[in-house]
């Protein structure tokens, strides 16, 4: 029916005589049911002649890129779960993509709110005094507190434990597959 409408619009949109457009429309209207009937008969004949096909399932190996995407999703799941169940806002994890010094290739960098605050304060002190005092001792202390908080939450929350287990399995599978594929290659791009 859509082709009839299309043909009707096409005939009426051109500047042709009424008789020519009407003749084309009449031809389409008359031939359309015949064509539909022929198509239905052909489909029935094909269905009767064809035997049921055997189903063949081929599983292609996952690419390393796909495996890395799965690992990144597992990492994001862990961070989201951790931030959801963590009650201390200072240890909320935040990740961003940034290019390291001397590179244009961005990498994923994650840190806690408290570490971001400490480095921001050290940067402000540098601007004010001209002396940069990196708060290494404070950062190490807060990293240890983060590890303890993470360990406690993993032992308390089965979803976080499951997410970490899935991440570990994906990561070990990726490392083994990468090692196998690049076994005898000197350069790995």
Nearest in space to 135 (alpha carbons), one of 148, 126, 147: 126
Which residue ranges make up each domain of the chain? 2-49, 64-181
Q: How many CA atoms lie within 13 A of 86 on its CB side?
A: 24
Name residue 94's beta-bridge partners. Answer: 111
d(CA 116, CA 92): 11
**Averaged pLDDT, 147-172:** 93
At 43, is the secondary structure helix, strand, or coil? helix
Q: What is the pLDDT of residue 131?
A: 85
Q: What is the pLDDT of residue 180?
A: 87
pTM equals 0.62
- H, E, C per residue of 93-108: EEEEEECCCCCCCCEE
């Amino acid at each position: 029916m859509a082709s009839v409408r299309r043909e009707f619009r096409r005939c009426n949109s051109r500047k042709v005589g009424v008789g020519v457009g009407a003749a084309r429309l009449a031809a389409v209207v008359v031939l359309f049911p015949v064509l539909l009937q022929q198509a239905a008969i052909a489909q029935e004949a094909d269905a009767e002649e064809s035997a049921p096909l055997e189903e063949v399932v081929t599983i292609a190996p996952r690419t390393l890129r796909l495996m890395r995407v799965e690992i990144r999703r597992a990492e994001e799941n862990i961070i989201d779960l951790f931030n959801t169940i963590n009650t201390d806002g200072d240890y909320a994890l935040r990740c961003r993509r940034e290019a390291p010094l001397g590179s244009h290739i961005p990498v994923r960098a994650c840190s806690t709110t408290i570490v971001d605050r400490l480095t921001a304060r050290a940067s402000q002190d540098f601007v004010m005094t001209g002396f940069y005092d990196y708060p290494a001792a404070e950062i190490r202390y807060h990293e240890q507190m983060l590890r303890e908080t993470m360990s406690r939450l993993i032992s308390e929350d089965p979803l976080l434990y499951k997410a970490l287990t899935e991440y570990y399995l994906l990561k070990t599978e990726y490392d083994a597959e990468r090692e196998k594929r690049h076994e005898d290659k000197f350069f790995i791009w």
